[in-house]
Amino acid sequence: MPERARTSPRRRLPASGVGVLLLVATSTAGAVADTPPPANWVMGATSTPPALASSMRLFPGMAADPVGDTVVLHGGIAATAAPGDPALADTWTWQDGTWTPRCGTSEPGATAPCGPGQRVHHGLATGPGGVILFGGAENQLGGPIPVHSDTWRWTGSAWTQVCADGACGPVADVAMAMAGTGTRAVLFGGLDVHAGPAPVDDTWVFDGATWTQVCGTGIGTPCGPTARAGAAMAWDGEQFVLFGGGGLGGGPAPSGDTWVLGPDPQPGDPWTQVCADGACGPAARSFAGAATLSRPDDETRRGALLAGGGTFDDPVQTQHRDQWLFRDGSWAQLPTPWPSTPLTFEDGPPDGSTGLMLPRLAGLATTCQVVLLGLDLGAMGEPATRLGGWDVDGDGVPGGCDEELPVPPRPSGRGYRLVGPDGGVFDFGEASFTGSLAGTRLNGPVVAAAGSPTGRGYWLVGADGGVFAFGDAGFFGSSAHLDLRRPVSAVTATPWGEGYWLVGADGGVFAFGDAGFFGSAAHLGLDAPVVAVARTATGEGYWLVGADGGVFAFGDAGFFGSAAHLDLNAPIVGLAPTPTGAGYWLVGADGAVFAFGDAGFFGSAAHLDLNAPIVGLAPTPTGAGYWLVGAGRGGVRVRGRQLLRLGRRPRPPRPRRRHRPRLTHAQRSSRKDPVRTVTPRWRVPGHRRPSTSTPTAPRLAHTSTRRPEVATIAGWGTCSPVRRRDRMARRSRRATA
């Protein structure tokens, strides 16, 4: 595509726009010849609003959210800024081709200010529970400036501080390389402004709550790459890829080497060099943009995408306009709609130049596309947004995946459902009613429930492993036909609602639909039955919890603590993870709440004289509150910053209770309580066992003048019940306590 002549006056793009991050030499590798592209990579233009375009911003932070359908942009610095000038403090989101102001700007619809405030040369990555922001400077580099080493999370509507300056994490303040997978974020290098400034060589991993150093200065394990700032990093679907970067004026020249790091870095794990400086791939540079290019249906067209970057030797700078794809351990150059040769200039790019200067990149996992934002060299240096993708239809338009991945809906948290042991469903607030099992002759009581991601359906699960689907919840199988060692006690659905896990009281896990099997506790010989299960945000792992408070993590689920060592007053009956996946709550039958990881404590019901034991806990979508539900008459208690009231009585009208569940011959002959078979008696330190007298069957039929007993609650997230004690046994314990 030929370069078009410029007819209007251009703005000057000074080399000083990089502040003190001026490298000592330009690249010696020279221009890289165009090579045949591996596939039909194309780029298309998308709109950039005037308020965003007029900023002429450089070095903002940009990343996609973990769901993969929204891009988050924060901060940056004007290209004409002098050393010490303030950085930008606004946040914008991009979705379906449109930029929307969110905070830190006077644009309509935005709130002010943003939590992180003014930032430039900061890191943004797709991390656990949202986009993670680390560090950055408040002003343009080049003199005494305020810098930060704090961590923030964008949860979809606002910034939340994870840890303050110096409270956790790396020592670097600015110009670090950062990338994430959705379950963890990795940071490498950058500048320690308090030490000179000077580049650093350490690597850190963020799990959603804390930073852990993997290698580098301070722990005795060299990382491999030399200390540098302005490197580019991206996740290629299997590993983290690091390229380029450099030092300060008078320091090392920019690098052109490539390194990789495994998917789950642990302390002591170094980077592995793929190719040395100039040995393969792009020419040496700093401040290139990088992002994940997803393509689950085609292994040849996915990997880590690298674009742009530059070398700086004041007053001369070289801007690269090429794009590269790293996959299967090697680089391949992609075509661009402008010449891929670099531009070298002093005061500004030559007339008629085209391309994007120092673009930032974000990969969209759900559409297999990449969003690029950089200064348009052909439009007076204003920011321009481009959308890159594969031309799957042959029309020259960047398409998406052959089959677009589903996007998990975001729940509102303005309602919940209560489920009784006979399968009766009661909806409150915005929760919808799509059916129940009330009046149905069951082989065993309903012991667990899970809502579909859309909120328009749900699954009920019986103690015998039977699964009943309502609304848009699909049926993918059950364990009712299996000869179970112990009854089923819990259920949780996958993020996209195309499968679910059933869990037995012995810790056995049964996966159906698109649910993966990541392990079980059936072989451990547990001291107490498993009473609840919760899956991670990615669906690539889950937690099990026992009645004694023991927590078992599988897959990508992290372990943040348990209550197994505590002298509990009552058994644990439920578990719920935080929205970030970096923590969870446990709740006891007495209403006690235990918070681990980044879970906040907002109160409990342990000090209350409850009429019935607590059977479940469900958090709000923001993780800033939770509901507790009792087994007696559907009593719901609200904790945390939750301002919702109970909704009206269910519509359609509450179904009448006609029959108690049909018991098997063995149950009738032994007079065992069908609910009690879910979790037989256990020993918990400090907890008195129920009376050993023959238990009586619970009331499963109710008159229309009383609310039914509740077995579980399903709101944002679901909780599983445990057995409910009869009132005589409870009163006996109170009398002897």
pLDDT band of residue 248 (cuts 50, 70, 90) is: low
Amino acid 133: pLDDT: 96
The string of pLDDT tens digits covering residues 278-302 is 778 899 999 999 999 987 667 777 8
Decide whether 15-390 matches 415-736 in CATH topology.
Answer: yes
3-state secondary structure of 100: strand
Give 449-452 contacts, CB < 8 A, sequence gap 24+: 449/417, 449/419, 449/491, 449/711, 449/712, 449/714, 449/718, 450/491, 450/492, 450/493, 450/500, 450/714, 450/718, 451/417, 451/493, 451/714, 451/715, 451/718, 452/493, 452/497
Per-residue three-class SS string for 318-351? EECCCEEEEECCEEEEECCCCCCCCEEECCCCCC
Q: Rounded to 5 degrees, what are φ and ψ at 730?
A: -65, -45
Flag the least confident range among 109-113, 125-129, 241-245, 650-654: 650-654
pLDDT score, position 70: 92
Tokens (6 digits) for 360: 């930032």
| 46-95 confidence digits (pLDDT tens) | 888 888 877 788 899 999 987 768 999 999 998 888 888 899 999 999 99
- Report d(CA 420, CA 594) in Å as an integer: 25
Contact 135, 152 (CB under 8 A): no
Write down the residue that tokens 């057995």 correspond to: 723
| In 631-706, beta strands by DSSP E | 636-640
Cα 462 to Cα 185: distance, rounded to the nearest angstrom: 39
pLDDT of residue 539: 86
Residue type, 517: F
Q: What is the mean pLDDT of residues 414-428?
A: 82
Confidence of residue 420 (pLDDT cuts 50, 70, 90): confident
| Residue whose tokens read 């606004």 | 90
Pick the CATH number of 15-390 from 3.30.200.20, 2.120.10.80, 2.40.37.10, 3.40.630.30: 2.120.10.80
> How confident is the model at residue 153, as a pLDDT?
92
- C-alpha distances in Å from residue 452, one per residue of 65, 337, 469, 622: 21, 43, 10, 18
| Domain positions in the chain | 15-390, 415-736
Which of 1-15, 83-97, 134-148, 221-235 comes out lowest in average pLDDT?
1-15
* Whole-number Å distance between alpha carbons of 357 and 350: 13
Which fold would CATH assign to domain 415-736? Answer: Neuraminidase (2.120.10)
* Element containing residue 552 per DSSP (H, E): strand 551-555
pLDDT at 403: 52
Question: How high is the pLDDT of residue 180?
Answer: 92
Please name the residue ranges forming H helices in 28-160.
Answer: 50-53
Lowest mean pLDDT among 141-145, 255-259, 306-310, 391-395: 141-145
User: Is the CB of residue 503 less than 8 Å from the CB of residue 544?
Assistant: yes
Tokens at 224, concatenated: 């491999």
Q: Are 340 and 354 in contact (CB under 8 A)?
A: no
Q: What is the mean pLDDT of the chain?
A: 78
End-to-end CA distance of the chain: 84
Residue whose tokens read 């880590």: 304
* pLDDT higher than threshold 60 for residue 310: yes
Report yes or no: 500 and 459 within 8 Å, Cβ to Cβ. yes
Percent residues over pLDDT 90 in the chain: 38
Extract the tokens encoding 8. 């209007």
What CA–CA distance (Å, rounded) separates 638 from 412? 16
What band does 500 get if pLDDT is binned at 50, 70 and 90? very high
Q: Under DSSP, is residue 101 helix (H, G, I), strand (E, B) or coil?
A: strand
Token code pair at residue 403: 């089959």
The letter for the amino acid at 301 is R
**What one-character DSSP code corresponds to residue 82?**
P
> In the structure, what pLDDT confidence band is assigned to residue 331 with cuts at 50, 70 and 90?
very high
Per-residue model confidence as pLDDT tens digits over 449-494: 998 877 788 999 999 999 999 988 999 999 988 888 889 999 999 9
Choose among 149, 140, 190: nearest CA to 167.
149
Compute the distance between CA of residue 701 and CA of residue 523 in angstroms, rounded to an integer.
38
The rounded distance, in Å, linking the Cα atoms of 445 and 722 is: 12
398, 387 contact by CB (below 8 A) = yes
CB 131 within 8 A of CB 125: yes
* Radius of gyration of the chain, Cα coordinates, nearest whole angstrom: 29
Q: How many residues does the chain have?
A: 737
Q: Which contacts of 110-113 are long-range, i.e. CB under 8 A and separated by 24 or more positions?
A: 111/158, 113/89
What b/e string do you get for 327-355 counting C-beta neighbours within 10 Å, with b at 16 or more?
A: beeebbbbbbebbbebbbeeeebeeebbb
Specify the 3-state DSSP secondary structure of 463: coil
What pLDDT band is residue 131 in, cutting at 50, 70 and 90? very high
pLDDT at position 729 over 80 = no
Q: Report residue 98 CA to chain centroid gap.
A: 22
How high is the pLDDT of residue 194?
A: 77
> Average pLDDT, stretch 168-193?
88
Dist. CA 553–CA 543, nearest whole Å: 5
Q: What is the model's pLDDT at position 670?
A: 41
What single-letter DSSP state applies at residue 548? T
Residue 732, phi then psi, degrees to nearest 5: -60, -40
CB 8 within 8 A of CB 380: yes
What kind and span of H or E run contains 385? strand 383-390
Pairwise CA distance, residues 271 & 172, whole Å: 18
Instruction: Answer with the residue of higher pLDDT: 38 or 387.
Output: 387
Span 638-654, pLDDT tens digits: 444 333 222 333 334 34
Instruction: Give the separation between CA 227 and CA 202, rounded to whole angstroms.
Output: 8
**89-111 pLDDT, tens digit each:** 999 999 989 999 999 998 888 98
CB atoms within 10 A of CB 680: 14
Sole residue written with tokens 């056995």? 508
Q: How far is CA 437 from the centre of its chain?
A: 35
Average pLDDT of 217-223? 87
For strands 130-137 and 147-154, give the pairing. Answer: antiparallel
Per-residue pLDDT, averaged over 33-52, amounts to 70
Tokens 């969870």 correspond to: 584
When mean pLDDT is compared across 137-141, 263-267, 410-414, 626-630, the lowest value belongs to 410-414
**Residue 7 and residue 298 in contact, taking contact as beta carbons nearer than 8 Å:** no
Q: What is the pLDDT of residue 270?
A: 94
- Give 156-179 pLDDT, tens digit per residue: 888 999 999 888 878 777 899 999
Type and span of the H or E element at 264 = none
Give the model confidence (pLDDT) of 553-575 as tens digits.
999 898 999 999 999 999 999 99
Q: Is the pLDDT of residue 509 over 90?
A: yes
